[in-house]
A and B are shown apart, each in its own frame.
Chain A
Amino acid sequence: MTGRKLIMTFPVTATSHLLADYKARGGYGTLERALREMRPEQITKEVTASGILGHGGAAFPTGRKWGVIKPNDGQPHYLCANADEGEPGTFKDRWILENAPHLLLESMLISAYALQVRHSFVYIRGEFDLPYRRLAAAVEEAYAAGLFGERILGTDFACDIVIYRGAGSYVCGEASALITSIEGKKGYPRNRPPRLTVRGLYQRPTVINNVETLSNIAGIVAHGAEAFRTVGTAKSPGTQLVSISGHVQRPGVYEVEYGYPLAKFIYEDCGGPLGGGKIKCVIPGGISTKVLTAAEIETVTYDHAALAAAGSQVGSGGMVVIAEGTCMVRLLQVLLRFYHHESCGQCTPCREGMGWMHRIIDRIVAGEGRMEDIDQLIRISKANDGTTICGMGDAAGYATVGIIAKYRDEFEYFIEHKRSRLNGRLEVVQ
């Protein structure tokens, strides 16, 4: 077991995603109570007191984001669930969309009431088919039950929801690109300030929260901030859905209580490395987070402070286990090809830098690398850091610098001998 559970609290069956089952589990009771007994400000106060951090990658305090919205300022506000799950290694929001779509919808309705939102959106990545169909069916069930539209549950509260499907663009997972996409445009990120909570979708105050973050709201409102804070650690209350993949015996989605020992999770709960060998390193939270060696994960707990102290992040919860014998040069090549492919081209350092880094790593893998290429990759990474509108170029740099810092000898060997010390292996030796 990976600690206490807040989301994966019911057995998944053929019908557990449907409205009837959700209601049988007490679903939409919190919405009813919130609409009848709570004022919008009370809900925001509770969410702020819960200390919940964003689960999409940046770990921004949700209450601070919500606190910017003035519910009664007379202008429209918008709420968007970010379901553009695209950070490589991450597939945890899919679990909610496929298995608990009504938990997301109830939480969104409570959030919409707190923020006085009339129109809400779920931005879901275009490739997700089953998650879309499950969510779309849940939305129709909810409309038919009077949970969306006018006079929800007989109150004065009204709210509509649109499931907005992306069409293949990693950068649209970035909040400002996401709303630009909902405006029907190419997904270019926007400069801040103004913050999106001041001027977001259609130039109105907009809250964008990750699917998992929002899905926690119903529980926080139902049981109170204090109860929520008893789970996890003081600085990281609650749990994280972790999607684990790569060279691991039991890949999948696990709910992990913050503060849980990372090594125990990987070696015991997930069965340890594939192929009977040893773990070389772990990417803890999506490919944009810095890699941790097997030695580094031994003592670390799974929470924001501990992972930061170890030099990495919780990130998007997308954990990738890498076994001994894996070629880190070819691994970085896969990552840089991805970043190059996904750079939207708006900012010069990223547009040029991603292509440049990709060409360098391709050159090294082709046996035509130069020893100065290693430092050149680091220099380009640092030149990208903080010089672009969104964080994508920075992220590519973190991944690159993280890998080179720990496995520089593999890069030197590759360049000197014109071949991988590990036969260019990405798959585990079975």
Chain B
Amino acid sequence: MKHLIPEFDAMRKRYPADAASSLVLPCLRRIQEDRGFVADSDIAELAAYIPVPRIQIEEVLAHYTQFRRAPIGRWHLQACRNLSCSMRGAEGAIAHLERKLGIAPGQTTADGRFTLSTVECLGSCGTAPVVMVNEAYHENMSPPRLDALIEELRK
């Protein structure tokens, strides 16, 4: 984590002076972008940098679904299965991805390329069903479009 401290120092400038505790979420996000997950050493170093109690960081990691404590696949496919997506084919799309990748939600392919997750409402209901690939939304995902997406990502 320590190499990110100059970035964290720069980030503080627009916050109120006494708001150091606010840095927990943005710093964790940056650490995860950098390493792919949040390691034990990151927690200790971040707790010392901000400073906040270690338990505050651990609670944040447990509460928010986007934080990870372990590495995942190169491509993280997060398929929405909330109402509007389910009404426009999400159940079939998720089943299709499971067959295509040979994994169930929560699993990573043996080659480490793909992790599949199901998520609740991504706020893209008008273009349902939607699958988030790392940061990007892929909309109106029919099985043929999913096939094309996977082919593209396998390249």
Q: Which of B23, B28, B89, B119 is A427 in contact with, Cβ under 8 Å?
A: B89
Tell me whether B126 and A127 are in contact (CB under 8 A).
Answer: no
Tell me whether B29 and A167 are in contact (CB under 8 A).
Answer: yes
Q: Which of B29, B60, B65, B121 is A88 in contact with, Cβ under 8 Å?
A: B121
| Chain B, 50-87, CB within 8 A of any chain A CB | 50, 52, 56, 59-60, 62-67, 81-84, 86-87
B60 closest partner in A (C-beta): A186
Tell me whether B87 and A428 are in contact (CB under 8 A).
Answer: yes
- Interface 9-mer from A34-42, A58-66, A158-166, A219-227: A158-166
Tell me whether B29 and A202 are in contact (CB under 8 A).
Answer: no
Q: Which of B15, B63, B128 is A169 in contact with, Cβ under 8 Å?
A: B63
A251 to B83 CA separation, bound complex (whole angstroms): 14
Given known pairs A165-B26, A184-B56, the reply for A91 and B120 (CB within 8 Å) is no
Given known pairs A184-B22, A243-B125, A251-B127, the reply for A202 and B16 (CB within 8 Å) is yes
A129 closest partner in B (C-beta): B135
Instruction: List 13 additional contacts besides A162-B15, A184-B56; criterion CB under 8 Å.
Output: A86-B123, A119-B14, A119-B16, A127-B132, A129-B137, A165-B26, A167-B28, A168-B67, A245-B84, A246-B88, A251-B128, A337-B120, A427-B92
Given known pairs A119-B15, A165-B29, the reply for A184 and B120 (CB within 8 Å) is no
Interface membership of B150, Cβ < 8 A? no
Interface residue tally of chain A, by bracket? 35 or more
Tell me whether A334 and B86 are in contact (CB under 8 A).
Answer: yes
Interface membership of B10, Cβ < 8 A? no
Interface membership of B19, Cβ < 8 A? yes
Smallest distance from the beta carbon of A326 to chain B beta carbons, Å?
A: 7
A252 to B128 CA separation, bound complex (whole angstroms): 11
Tell me whether B83 and A331 are in contact (CB under 8 A).
Answer: yes
Smallest distance from the beta carbon of B144 to chain A beta carbons, Å?
A: 16
Q: Which residues on B sit within 8 Å (CB–CB) of A87?
A: 121
A91-130 CB mask vs B (1 if < 8 Å, else 0) is: 1001000000000000000000000001100000111111
A162 to B60 CA separation, bound complex (whole angstroms): 20
B128 closest partner in A (C-beta): A245
Q: Which residues on B sit within 8 Å (CB–CB) of A162?
A: 14-15, 22
Tell me whether A320 and B126 are in contact (CB under 8 A).
Answer: no
Smallest distance from the beta carbon of A229 to chain B beta carbons, Å?
A: 30
Q: Which residues on B sit within 8 Å (CB–CB) of A186?
A: 59-60, 62-64
